[in-house]
Amino acid sequence: MAFVETPIQDLLLYTPDVFRDERGYFTESYNRRTFSAQGLTTAFVQDNQALSQYGVIRGLHYQTGASMQAKLVRVFEGRVLDVVVDLRPDSRTYGEVYAVELNTDNMLQLVVPRGFAHGYSVLSEKAVFFYKCDNFYNRESEGGIHPEDPGLNIDWGIPVADRIISEKDRILPFFGEHKPIVPQ
């Protein structure tokens, strides 16, 4: 098991041990003792799972105020490009974007602290995406940034003509128009 720092402050990649043989594989995807030994004492309270088809882009979403969420994200099936934007105004990496492919072969997980916008695009025919949250979803506290914000210049790995973006996400503000969020 390994935790690797990313170029974004406090954002970590986690690679669990995977034991493969002719039957398939076994992995311990989360163990509180393992994470605590790394100084990650997040108490997760909600698990979410989404099935999406090729071309779907979900995000960039976040929760504000007392409803902010840290997340542990991974892919059960398929391939996604996972993307985060640092929204913490006091962070040295404020406004920076990080993207990584998560898939069933590399088994990578992304440890996303509070104060980040998060989204992903589906690169395979379909993908099952799973994430743990340390706070409950609150509709009144949701926020987002337009996934095609030209200032962020995110390469989602999906041709524009093939992108499937919800109407809700298409009307999100650009990065410069959103209200800064302060982690609590």
Amino acid letter for position 138: N
The answer to whether residue 184 is domain-embedded is no
Active site includes 178?
no
Report the CATH number at residue 78: 2.60.120.10
Residue-wise pLDDT for 78-106, tens only, equals 999 999 999 999 999 999 999 999 999 99
The answer to whether residue 150 is domain-embedded is yes
Active site includes 61?
yes
Instruction: Choose among 93, 63, 33: nearest CA to 179.
Output: 63
The answer to whether residue 163 is domain-embedded is yes
Instruction: Tell me the residue range of the domain where 45 lies.
Output: 2-18+27-177
> Quick one: pLDDT at residue 154?
98
Instruction: Choose among 29, 58, 57: nearest CA to 44.
Output: 29
Q: Which position among 14, 62, 131, 146 bears the catalytic label?
A: 131
Local confidence pLDDT in tens for the 184 residues of the chain: 699 999 999 999 999 999 999 999 999 899 999 999 999 999 999 999 999 999 999 999 999 999 999 999 999 999 999 999 999 999 999 999 999 999 999 999 999 999 999 999 999 999 999 999 999 999 999 999 999 999 999 999 999 999 999 999 999 999 988 766 765 5
Query: Per the structure block, which two tokens stand in for 6?
Result: 């990313």
pTM of the model: 0.93
The answer to whether residue 156 is domain-embedded is yes
Instruction: Please give the Cα distance from 162 to 181 (Å, whole number).
Output: 32
The answer to whether residue 75 is domain-embedded is yes
> Quick one: pLDDT at residue 52?
98
Which H or E run includes 36?
helix 32-37
Instruction: Choose among 48, 109, 28, 32: nearest CA to 75.
Output: 109
The answer to whether residue 182 is domain-embedded is no
Q: How many domains does the chain have?
A: 1
Q: Which position among 61, 118, 146, 178 bears the catalytic label?
A: 61
Where would I find the beta strands (DSSP E) of 94-151?
97-103, 109-112, 116-122, 126-133, 142-144
